Structures are given as C-alpha cells and as structure tokens.
Amino acid sequence: MQTDSKYLKLNKSEFLYLVVEDLAPSVSQMITLRLATVHSEEEIRSAFRHIMDLYPKLRTIVEPTLFSQRLKVISDEIHINALFDDAFKIKRDLPFDSQAFKDYQNEFLNESFTLQQALPIKIRFLPEENILLISVHHMTCDGVGWINMVSSLMAHLNGKETVAQSLEDPSMVPGVFQKPYITAPIQVFKSWKLLSAENKKTAQDKIISPAETKTDFIGSVSMKHRYLQNELADLKPKAKSMGYSLNIYFLTALARSFFDRYGEEHGDTVSIRLSYDLRTYFEKDAPVFGNYVTTSILRAYRKDMESPQRMMENLQSQLTTAIDRLKHKKLSYPWLLDKAFTLVGKKLYSLGILAGKRKGTIPVPTIHFSTVGSLDFLNKAGEAAKVKDVIATVPTFGMFMTLCNIDGVFNVNLSYPSAEFSDDKMESFIGEFDQELGSLASLKSETVTETTEREATTA
C-alpha cells in the first residue's frame, strides 16, 4: 500500500518502540556487516547516501501531534545531508577479533537516538576491517525491512539498478483481518475464543526464567556472538533423518539446552517466542519496509526430554497451528488489544510498562528466537561487492537469539539485559546449544518411522 502524504502515522508496533525508547538506552536493530571485498570510505558513504534516497522512512523524524506522535518525511536535500553527516561516521583501530571491537559493538548497540532531531539510522564504517555497523531504530523497520535495505546496498555497490520505494501505509490491518472488514467483530470474537482456550490450556505451565537477577528497570543490553561448529551440511541431514525441518530441529535443541541447564525447580516449560512476517498474508500490495511482524509462543515440556521425537512433534504441531492462524487471520483479538493500548497515550503507556516491569507482570518468554535464515542471496548481485558475514542483534527484555548463515556457516548472536545475566553464562549457553545441535540426532527414537520433512518458515 502506498501513500502520498509526507506524514506517516505509527502502527501499534512502532508506537510501542517509540514508548520504550524513553525507558531504555536504545531500541535499535544492530547489523554487523562484514564485507569480503574492499571499499573506500567515499564509496561506502556514497552508497549509503543513495540508500537514504531509496527508503523514505530512513529520512524521517518524529513529530508530536496534539494527542500522539507521527513521522515527518524530510524532503529538503540540505537538511537530509546535514542529518546524514551526523549519522555516518568512520571508526578506526578496531580489529574484528579484539575485545575493543566487542566493547564498541555493545556501546553502539546501546547508543540512544534523538528521534525528533536526528535520522533513525546510524552507520559506522571500519575501513581497515571492511566492516559496517548499522543501527536502525526498530520503529523504522523490522528484520525483513533491514534485510531488504542491505540487499539494496549490495546491489548498488555492484552497479545494479535499484528502485526507490514508495512511501508505504504503515497499517497492519490487511495482514490481520479478512475481507469484508464488516465482519471484523465476528473475527475478533472467534480470535478471543481461541486465545482464551489456549490460555486456559497453558495456565499451569511453569515457565523457566533464565534471568539470574530480577531488576525493576530497563537497562543496557549485552551481546555474545559465536560461529557454530555445526554447519548446514551437517545439520540438514540430521534434521531430515528425524523427519522434521531444520527449523524444528533448532527449536528442539534450543529447548533441550534450557532443560539441561535449569533443573526441575526452575520450571517444567520452555517458552520460545517466534516472529512472523505479516506481509506474506497481505492479499495485494505487500509493503517492503516498515514494521509488519507479529509473534507467537511455542512451548516445549520437560516431560518430553526422554523423547526428542515427541518434543519435535509437539513443537511442529504448535507451529503449524500458529501458521494456520496467520493464514486464516485468526489473531485479530491480541492485535486489537495491543492496538488499544496505544490510545492511552505515550506517557501512560510508558508508566504502565514500568509498573509491569517492577511488578514482574510483563510476560517475558524463556527466549525470543529469530531464524534469519540463509543470506546467500546478498552475494548474487555481482563480484564487485560481497558479504562475508552478517550478525544481527536486537535488544529486548530477556534473551534474544538470532541465527543466520552464509555459505553454510551458522552464526549465533545472543543479546540480553546486562544487569540480569552474566556474560560468561551466556557465552557458555551458546556452546551448550551448539553441542546439543550436534548430538540431538543420535537420540532419535528407534520406534519412529515418520521421515517426511515438514517445512515451516518464521521471519
């Protein structure tokens, strides 16, 4: 959907990110882009300035209205150039494998935005390392959005023609409600019944909370990164041998890693939040940039530790149900509930979040897991510019793990609140997850005969 207005309303996700921006050091998505090719400072600067022209939402500032907030698209070239000069900086003497680089990554991840005076994107180029650090405020786009942006960047660096994006309507309604919209009340009622039944079914679950310390504030975030020893060529046959997709294999290994680390006194359920791209379910004119993601919770149970196959079957059943609800647009009630919170205004919304944090009533899953998937397509634009690696990081209230691969090599990035988790335990958790990935297939039940691979995709 397109709009000709130079102003954009905020959808319910974007409003939430704007509210949290006042409570947390930062609400950004940080992408560490390691280039396999050498580029000059001017080439990278010019390429990113071109990206600003392609994506209007990168040229916005927040503007208060009488009762809310909106985005104003800047069209004046002099103004854009001045803001871009502040957004694009060169950094030196930070070798990729050094502690100094890791410290700067954490610092950059937590660097706040001044959204009423500055662009919602910051770029740091490390010419000696051929590394780009890109911090995009989450209010501007989701994971699908930044992947599209990086794809445009690589195409431009390879001399390919790139198409400017129209200013898109931020509404999520086409991905949430079925037409005709006059039936929306019935859709909301049916969605409420589904959610109520699910809440009743899971009410007695004791969710494992891995935080070592509980805090009553929203503080800075730390991150740990690791290349997995298990590569795509190793894991895909293992997943297939167990009759499930690689996605389910990852989820099962992740859940088992928590059960191995946290005993029965910590709980009997691992809750895993997954993200899904609503663009897939727009009937037409699906947007490219912006925030159009929803989530669901999958649950793994300790009682299934003796049978990995049963845990996989359970997770697959839940994932199939979640995707079915997306396809048939049965998630309107929780979406509408979130939307209603935006009506109370930014100040009251933020006070509600702080109160929930202090009382421990904000529902934080055991972990949020995002499978970015293969990014090999970024290297199909040509030989002049190639990507060696992409590391995605998102700050959140709990543990957030991203997983992606290039050329069959997986990298994992784990972010977490600094005050609630210790660095060494988070680093060792990634190692335990990697080990579980390697050993899971050997635990396959001898009674299993199902070998059909089930495919399901998350955003």
CA atoms of 147 and 374, how far apart (whole Å): 11
Q: Could you tell me if residue 218 is inside a domain?
A: yes
Do 340 and 439 reside in the same domain of the chain?
A: yes
Do 81 and 179 reside in the same domain of the chain?
A: no
Do 87 and 219 reside in the same domain of the chain?
A: no
Do 431 and 298 reside in the same domain of the chain?
A: yes
Do 13 and 81 reside in the same domain of the chain?
A: yes
Tens-place pLDDT, residues 161-208: 998 988 888 889 999 999 998 999 999 999 999 999 999 999 899 999
Q: Report angle CA 144, 147, 153 to the nearest 5 degrees.
A: 145
Contact in structure between 119 and 84 (CB atoms under 8 Å): yes
Q: Could you tell me if residue 162 is inside a domain?
A: no
Do 229 and 137 reside in the same domain of the chain?
A: no
Domain carrying residue 116: 7-157
pLDDT band per the 50, 70, 90 thresholds, residue 273: very high
What percentage of the chain reaches a pLDDT higher than 70?
95
CA atoms of 272 and 367, how far apart (whole Å): 5
Contact in structure between 365 and 371 (CB atoms under 8 Å): no
Domain end call among 124, 157, 190: 157
Do 299 and 213 reside in the same domain of the chain?
A: yes
pLDDT band per the 50, 70, 90 thresholds, residue 444: low
Q: Could you tell me if residue 369 is inside a domain?
A: yes
Give the domain CATH number at 93. Answer: 3.30.559.10
Number of domains into which the chain is organized: 2
Q: What's the half-sphere exposure (Cβ side, CA atoms, 13 Å) at 62? A: 20
Do 328 and 432 reside in the same domain of the chain?
A: yes
What percentage of the chain reaches a pLDDT higher than 90?
66
Q: Which of 283, 245, 276 is closest to 454 using CA atoms?
A: 245
Please give the pLDDT value at position 453.
34
CA atoms of 192 and 98, how far apart (whole Å): 51
Listed range (88-92, 237-241, 345-349, 411-415) with the worst mean pLDDT: 345-349
Q: Could you tell me if residue 1 is inside a domain?
A: no
Tens-place pLDDT, residues 315-361: 999 999 999 999 999 999 999 988 888 888 888 888 888 888 888 88
In this model, does residue 127 exceed pLDDT 90?
yes
Do 220 and 300 reside in the same domain of the chain?
A: yes
User: Which residues, including other chains, have CB under 8 Å from residue 183's CB and lie 6 or more apart?
Assistant: none
Please give the pLDDT value at position 2.
46
